[in-house]
Structure 1
Amino acid sequence: MDYINKKCEEKLGKILGNCSLVPVPQSDITARITFRPQSDSFRQAAFVRQRFITFYQRVASDLHIISVPGDLHEHNKLQRKFPTLIFEPSNNKLTVMGPFPHIAEFKEFLWKNHSTKRLVSKTPTDSLSNRISASSSAHKDPDDESCPICMETIVRNKKKTLRCKHSFCSDCLEKAFVYKPVCPTCGELYGTLKGTQPDGGAMEVTKNTSPLPGYEKYGTIVIHYYIPRGIQKEEHPSPGQPYEGASRTAYLPDSPEGRMVLGLLRRAFDQRLIFTIGRSTTSGRNNTVTWNDIHHKTSTHGGPTHYGYPDPEYLSRVRDELKVKGIE
């Protein structure tokens, strides 16, 4: 939460709306979060809680922490150069926290400047601040390029440069792409993203003439999802353990944009991105089929706080969520 409070304050405010977030420390490393709406709306608090969980998981899963030599003076200079990172000085060291791509950029910056300074001086005064000052005028050896994944020098005949111009050790990149086919530095997608949605499910679509609030000129698209129960595979949280299936219903307006989103959702379903296996946010049970981070409208009425309509920004939001996964 420290990183979110310091670096994601604006996004957090948009998610909370008129709810307040009350952290209750449980220990040095854990805290319980309570959501308190200004009105007595349990559904609103539940909706905000779900959005916060998705947001928190996205941020937390990408955070990395490293420790490097440095002092308070260097901390101030680095903070200006890398505003998305948090620098905490302690005992002549800096603890650095931030998203993996930015940590990788920071480590590459340190490595390049350290290597350059070492060529012109081997004195004990080779401090981090000296290396920062030297970076603007030092000559860079094009052969001494480090891999942002392993931080080792890239061997020339094992170098892989992506379309986005970022380079890696070919072995490191191959292993990273097994997990997710995106550039580890900038996040550009390469290939088709596959999720961990259990096999054997079905997505069926029906239509009716009843309009959704905000789309009075159109009928309604009704999506029926069914995922049967089964046994978890190696890609799931508890391989070999059984999981509970799920049956879900979602709604879209039968408008041109709604039909476009339906096509995108069908592609996401075929790529196993709609569901995953985890902990149910409603029942609290583990080893059950749950929504992944592509939001659906599971009610026809009630607005955003009831997961329903009207919500004029929903179709745009879900298209953005799908675009991140390479579906557009």
Structure 2
Amino acid sequence: MLLRLVSYPLVSISLQIFSNVKATIDLSAFKEREKVISLLYEKPLRTRKLNGMCYKTQGSFEELEELFHEISSFKKSDVHNVRHQKHESSRSPVQVMSVEVVDSVMSYIEQKCSKELDKIGGNEVSMHVHRTHDKVLVDFRLVNPQHPEFLCHHARERFITFYQRIATNLQTRTFDVDPIVLQHRKQIEVRFPELLISDIPRKHSLRSSITVMGSYTDIMWFEEFLENGMATSQRVVRDQGRSPQSRHSDLSGPSAKQPERKEEGESCPICLDVMKKTEMKTLARCQHSFCEDCLKKAFSSKPICPVCGVVYGELEGTQPQNGTMEVSTSKAPLPGYPTYGSIIIRYQIPSGIQGEEHPNPGHSYEGISRVAFLPDSPEGRKVAKLLKRAFQQRLIFTIGRSSTTGRNNVVTWNDVHHKTSRTGGPTNYGYPDPDYLSRVKEELKAKGIY
């Protein structure tokens, strides 16, 4: 947090908790002091005058961050420039700063996204992961020390953007399964290549447990696979890679009673059986086909194509139902949108008890409070309306494992990126980021909101 506020050297900050941040503001550093004082008392902050020309104010981190952006235009230019030059000169270390990451997320990236990692560094930059007992750091080094250092900085920025996209999409679920499923884990991993699957040892139990990490959609289809195939899971995993005809030959035995199953045909992606034309259902928009009964079961969970994720109908998520979303505006512009004000979205999801649609029904979950920013431009206002629809359809948040803290049973983002900082670019979940609005519209479109 202190790094994000270093560009405000005229304000001293002590961060205690997110909802209780204190700042001391020295009016001698500002040329329009009356306007600064007015802003101090107009905001929903606790402000009092100290000795001399200093004021002490207190509020949430987001409230103070917004205040600092608004009063920054009132600074004395000569003081600002001197401080800015000092800041710039101290920001050019010989070695690029490491990036601290969550171990579980980095493990997923290393195992499932190795090709993407190679592309980030290219032939000029190598990335090294260092694990200690309390943190995981990613370092960036030039392969050829004679090459310009900015290559490392660019690789670091690309990695942070990539890591952020992966981390915000990841969820973790634990499933109780028949032990036969674990015996064919390799075949299951081939069927679900985007999921990271781990065993959980359970002594003296007829059931086994596995933990899967991946995107919401992939985990949902894995759950569908378990629910629809548990009774025949041994057959399903055994028959991976074999032709539909040989599968049914084994199942039916020498005296097969279903000759129509021996005909050449397309297999259902859910149950893997050869589909009869009279029982086959083809989805209109994506043209993927399934057994009609399998598709009904899948759509009863989520109305999206089990293969490609195209939404059919209105998708409803698992976001806790007692949350609030408040939208307001500010005249302070965002970097990259100098002619527009900003839209401020405040989400509040209180703690509660998980329902049947959540990972651990009956257990408590920890709520969150989040603030996000959009430019108050025509496109930004459109995105705000789309986010409102997504919130009403319970798609903005879910309950699971936090990708930043590693804690379970907490409210987390649900595959829709938000800018939770005004500044800092993609590195700090902020602006400028010229492609952000287009990306978030695509993410919402994938959930049927456009």
Distance 1:198 1:15, change over 3 A: farther
Map residues 208-287 of structure 1 onto 2, 5 A cutoff: 208-287=330-409
Separation in structure 2 between the aligned mates of residue 170 and residue 7 of structure 1, nearest angstrom: 33
SS in 1 for 2:243: helix
Letter of the 2:448 counterpart: G
Note the C-alpha offset of 1:320: 1.6
* TM-score relative to the length of structure 1: 0.66
Unmatched 5+ stretches in structure 2: 1-105, 142-151, 173-184, 195-217, 223-235, 248-261
Separation in structure 2 between the aligned mates of residue 156 and residue 285 of structure 1, nearest angstrom: 47
Letter of the 1:267 counterpart: R
* TM-score relative to the length of structure 2: 0.49
**Is this contact kept in 1: 2:167–2:403, CA < 8 A?**
no
Q: Where does residue 88 of structure 1 map in the other structure?
A: none
SS in 1 for 2:442: helix
Larger Rg: 2
Note the C-alpha offset of 1:296: 0.6
Q: Which among 233, 237, 243 is matched to residue 111 of structure 1?
A: 243
Distance 1:244 1:187, change over 3 A: closer
Q: Where does residue 159 of structure 1 map in the other structure?
A: 280
Distance 1:3 1:111, change over 3 A: farther
Is 1:51–2:165 an aligned residue pair? yes
Note the C-alpha offset of 1:155: 4.0
Is 1:168–2:290 an aligned residue pair? yes
Note the C-alpha offset of 1:189: 2.0
Note the C-alpha offset of 1:214: 0.7
Separation in structure 2 between the aligned mates of residue 239 and residue 189 of structure 1, nearest angstrom: 26
**Is this contact kept in 2: 1:212–1:300, CA < 8 A?**
yes
SS in 2 for 1:268: helix
Distance 1:315 1:108, change over 3 A: same
SS in 1 for 2:430: coil
RMSD: 4.3
Separation in structure 2 between the aligned mates of residue 2 and residue 112 of structure 1, nearest angstrom: 36
Letter of the 2:138 counterpart: F
Letter of the 1:294 counterpart: V
Distance 1:52 1:312, change over 3 A: same
Give deviations 1:23-53, integer Å, cap 9, x for gaps.
87xxxxxxx974335689xx97877644333
User: What is the number of residues matched between the two proteins?
Assistant: 266
**Is this contact kept in 2: 1:23–1:34, CA < 8 A?**
yes
Map residues 179-218 of structure 1 onto 2, 5 A cutoff: 179-218=301-340
Note the C-alpha offset of 1:110: 4.8
Distance 1:162 1:283, change over 3 A: closer
Q: Where does residue 29 of structure 1 map in the other structure?
A: none
Separation in structure 1 between the aligned mates of residue 449 and residue 120 of structure 2, nearest angstrom: 24
Note the C-alpha offset of 1:267: 1.1
Distance 1:299 1:56, change over 3 A: closer
Q: Where does residue 324 of structure 1 map in the other structure?
A: 446
SS in 2 for 1:277: strand
Distance 1:248 1:55, change over 3 A: closer
Q: Where does residue 187 of structure 2 map in the other structure?
A: 66
Give deviations 1:52-103, integer Å, cap 9, x for gaps.
3346669xxxxx9528xxxxxxxxxxxxxxxx99xxxxxxxxxxxxx889xx
Distance 1:180 1:261, change over 3 A: same
**Percent identity among equivalent residues?**
55
**Is this contact kept in 2: 1:220–1:252, CA < 8 A?**
yes
Letter of the 2:243 counterpart: W
Separation in structure 2 between the aligned mates of residue 312 and residue 33 of structure 1, nearest angstrom: 30
Q: Where does residue 36 of structure 1 map in the other structure?
A: 139
**Is this contact kept in 1: 2:347–2:369, CA < 8 A?**
yes
SS in 2 for 1:66: helix
Distance 1:148 1:261, change over 3 A: same
Q: Where does residue 267 of structure 2 map in the other structure?
A: 146
Is 1:20–2:127 an aligned residue pair? yes
Separation in structure 2 between the aligned mates of residue 2 and residue 242 of structure 1, nearest angstrom: 28
Separation in structure 2 between the aligned mates of residue 307 and residue 292 of structure 1, nearest angstrom: 16
Note the C-alpha offset of 1:154: 2.5
Distance 1:260 1:310, change over 3 A: same
Give deviations 1:173-202, integer Å, cap 9, x for gaps.
111123332222333221122111000111
Distance 1:232 1:306, change over 3 A: same
SS in 1 for 2:281: strand
SS in 2 for 1:265: helix
Note the C-alpha offset of 1:14: 6.5
Separation in structure 1 between the aligned mates of residue 319 and residue 337 of structure 2, nearest angstrom: 31
SS in 2 for 1:207: strand
Map residues 95-106 of structure 1 onto 2, 5 A cutoff: none
Note the C-alpha offset of 1:168: 1.6
Distance 1:66 1:271, change over 3 A: same
Separation in structure 2 between the aligned mates of residue 245 and residue 6 of structure 1, nearest angstrom: 31
Separation in structure 1 between the aligned mates of residue 360 and residue 111 of structure 2, nearest angstrom: 34
Unmatched 5+ stretches in structure 1: 25-31, 59-63, 68-83, 86-98, 116-139
Note the C-alpha offset of 1:112: 5.4
Letter of the 2:326 counterpart: E
Note the C-alpha offset of 1:13: 5.1
SS in 1 for 2:187: strand
Distance 1:250 1:55, change over 3 A: closer
Note the C-alpha offset of 1:141: 4.5
